[in-house]
Amino acid sequence: MTILVAGATGLAGSAIFKELTSIGKPVVGISSKELDLLDRDATFNYLNELKPNVVIDAAAKVGGISANNNYPVEFLSENIRIQTNLIDAAHSAKVERFVFLASSCVYPKNCPQPIKEEYVLTGALESTNSAYAIAKLAGIELIKAYRKEFGHRWISVMPTNLYGPNDNFNLESSHVFPALIRKFIEAKKSNATSVKLWGTGKPKRELLHVDDLAKAIIVCLDSYDSDQQINIGTGVDLTIAELAEKIAKNTGFTGSIDWDVTKEDGTPQKVLDIQKITNLGWKPTINLDQGIKLTVEWYLENK
């Protein structure tokens, strides 16, 4: 059996690849350096030659509020092509199991909390990342379509906000967690007396370490088979202001935190109902304080 992880050098993909390797699974990892998933012919040729039994799709163009807001064409067009090429090629190569990594941003902006899987497509999306969300919704629907038309045992998983090693720490395109780590570390090094952050700090976010996600993916591969996406998270959230304070403390920054209220806050709250995945026997093992410490240490060693 061969497992192919697409996006194997990214945040989620690298953790999934590492976990599969650690438990002795025969796994092949690819990034854009090995295969351009925007190239449909190349994608078909690669999968038909490799003939993997399982494909885990962690490949995507991702970014934070600013990047999503400024480049909606790229986030919509490129992600639809990446996932469609890979999914169609997997069908051509007769792949038995396909795991599509969606995103909790596909849920409506003003969604009841905690968010159940059936809440998808029940309301308007958050405007700052709607292009990315639409692309991910298209991927979920394509997986369902292949299940319906061809009987494939393919699934979609819905991770909450992820963090950990190999994240994107570029301040122009990163998500809130890595951006905070970089800002506070740089402020500490430069002896800055204050750090300015986007928004009000009031929105609430749920955060999951990618090593916990990787373990959940393996559980889903073994035990989940449904056309409905399955949530993967912690079921616990906190405000961005509380997160900023935790990261500031962990990095040793003791100055003030100032909020630029002219910037977008994004979705007001987003915490997932994780009953389905916990019923399969999985639960997160890395708490947020431990995860922040591990990620700060990784950043200092690698960046």
* Beta-ladder partners of 272: 115
d(CA 4, CA 28) in angstroms, rounded, equals: 5
The residues that are catalytic are: 132
Token code pair at residue 275: 């009953």
Looking up tokens 């092949």 gives: 28
Token code pair at residue 95: 């792949």
> Which among 13, 118, 4 is positioned nearest to 62, based on CA atoms?
13
d(CA 167, CA 98) in angstroms, rounded, equals: 24
Is residue 239 within 8 Å of residue 130, measured between CB atoms?
no
Alpha carbon distances (Å) from 164 to 133, 217, 243? 22, 16, 14
